[in-house]
Amino acid sequence: MRKTFFIIKHEFRGMVKRTSYIVTTLLLPLVGVLGIVIYNLVQALSGGAVEVQVPKIGYIDQVGIFSEATQQPGAELVAYQSADGAKADLIKGDIKEYFIIPGDYIAKGVLERFSLQTELQPGEASATAIKDFLIANLLKNEVSADITARVQTPYALENTVLDKSGNVAEGQGGFGAYIISYLFSLLLLLSIFTASGFLLQGLVEEKENRVMEVLLSSVSSRQLIAGKVLGLGAAGLVQIAIWLVSFELLLPFASSSIGGLFASISFPPGIIAISLVYFVLGYLLFGILMAGVGAIAPTAQMGQQMSAIFSMMAALPFFLIVFIIQGGDHIVNIILSLFPPTAPLTVMMRLGQGIPLWEIITSIVLLILAILGTLSLSARIFRTFLLMYGKTPNFRDVMRSLRQA
């Protein structure tokens, strides 16, 4: 155990002294600070507000009742007496598009729309502006302004999650929970790609320099792989802690400067705790797998190529995100949450939407079993292949050596 701690200490110090590690750790907070400064600078130079050009939509009213509510949130509607005038302004670029309200519109509800772009349907902002404009004018003499506004926006959902007993659950999801979940997922993926590269490079260099022979004469292969993975993992946790503290400090400034988007972001303790557990377990699993690849690979380049399969497995949940964002107990979500290589990212991404407790517990148990199993297999690979130079064993050699070990 003492030798393992020595390796952990050595790997940790070597990692945090790397220029690339320091730059990556400080870059994210600096980008956040720079973004806030640039936004405030633009605000100050523009007189406190950035002027947004509202697109203009022309219309020709052949019914004779559409003249009010021309200022909509997504566009400004401009009345024309003839289609020729609207067409001329469209070609000049004065308006984005125009439409004709024919005389039989009340009976048929058909509009004629003209634009210079080929598209399947109008953009959401234009369609909403036209719809609200038509509703406001159709109802202006029939109902009150409040009823008209409610017709235009029938509802705004406020979702509340209940637990099995009918009480309000602690985790209510929301935009902030989504951001935190996806943030941890991206950080884990980034750590897997960067730290695995350092681990592979270090192992191959130690093999080529014959340093590995000296190391294995003093420590066991299990102690060596555990020390290297835990040392890099500790450096990764320090990096995550710095990022989280930076986000916590920057959020109040971003919220007060940029507005409501960042005001809804918070750091729920439960989500952070579970995310950290999966971060540690996920990093340990992939770190051990990468160490096994490093023992087999004769060069760093070959090691990167061989480790691509594990990198793709780690990123697989992002390719299947269409199922994850839908939430629920879809079979794809359950499989990805329980399969150890995809479990860390999948569970983190599902935390913001809610995931059954049994899936979390089962996936953690399976991850721990997978870590113990891969540690045992990687230690055997270390003993068999780590001192091989200039030769890449094939799959049959690896399987035969594992059976004999």
For 204-258, what is each residue's pLDDT tens digit? 666 666 666 666 667 777 777 788 888 877 887 888 788 778 877 776 666 655 5
Give the other-Cβ count within 10 Å of 64's Cβ: 8
Residues 147 and 176 in one domain: no
Give the pLDDT confidence score for residue 391 in this predicted structure.
54
Average pLDDT of every residue of the chain? 77
Please state, for a pLDDT cut of 90, what percent of the chain lies above it: 14
Residues 103 and 144 in one domain: yes
Assigned domain for 252 exists: yes
Residue range 68-120, pLDDT digits in tens: 889 888 789 999 999 999 999 999 999 999 999 999 998 888 999 998 887 76
Residues 269 and 188 in one domain: yes
Give the pLDDT confidence score for residue 298 in this predicted structure.
65
Give the pLDDT confidence score for residue 256 in this predicted structure.
58
Residues 82 and 183 in one domain: no
Mean pLDDT across 306-320: 80
Is there a contact between 106 and 66 (Cβ–Cβ < 8 Å)?
A: no
- Distance of alpha carbon 263 from alpha carbon 253, whole angstroms: 10
Give the pLDDT confidence score for residue 385 in this predicted structure.
63
Question: Based on the structure, what is the number of domains in the chain?
Answer: 2
Checking if the pLDDT of 8 tops 90, the result is no
Residues 147 and 175 in one domain: no
What is the domain-level CATH number for residue 128? 3.40.190
Contacts of 154 (CB under 8 A, 6+ apart): none
| Token digits of residue 286 | 């992939």
Residues 231 and 146 in one domain: no
Assigned domain for 61 exists: yes
Assigned domain for 190 exists: yes
Backbone angles phi, psi at 315, to 5 degrees: -90, -5
Residues 187 and 292 in one domain: yes
Assigned domain for 206 exists: yes
Residues 110 and 207 in one domain: no
- Distance of alpha carbon 373 from alpha carbon 386, whole angstroms: 19
Domain that holds residue 223: 171-404
Residues 143 and 179 in one domain: no
- Distance of alpha carbon 378 from alpha carbon 289, whole angstroms: 7
Mean pLDDT across 318-331: 75
Assigned domain for 131 exists: yes
Domain boundary among 118, 152, 186: 152
Domain boundary among 152, 181, 201: 152
Give the pLDDT confidence score for residue 220 in this predicted structure.
75
Give the pLDDT confidence score for residue 124 in this predicted structure.
81
Is there a contact between 115 and 97 (Cβ–Cβ < 8 Å)?
A: yes
* Residue in the block written with tokens 């009150």: 144
The candidate with the shortest Cα–Cα distance to 311, out of 327, 293, 296, 326, is 293
Assigned domain for 351 exists: yes
Residues 299 and 191 in one domain: yes
The reported pTM is 0.62
Checking if the pLDDT of 299 tops 70, the result is no
Assigned domain for 6 exists: no
Per the rule left: phi > 0, alpha: psi between -120 and 50, beta: everything else, 253 is alpha
Q: Which residue has the higher pLDDT, 15 or 298?
A: 15
Helices (H), 259-324: 260-263, 269-296, 300-306, 308-319, 321-324
Assigned domain for 9 exists: no
Exposure b/e, 71-102, CB count within 10 A at least 16 = b: ebebbebeebeebeebeebbeeeebbbbbbbb
Residues 141 and 175 in one domain: no
Give the pLDDT band (50/70/90) at residue 268: low
Give the pLDDT confidence score for residue 367 in this predicted structure.
93
Residues 180 and 249 in one domain: yes
Give the pLDDT band (50/70/90) at residue 307: confident
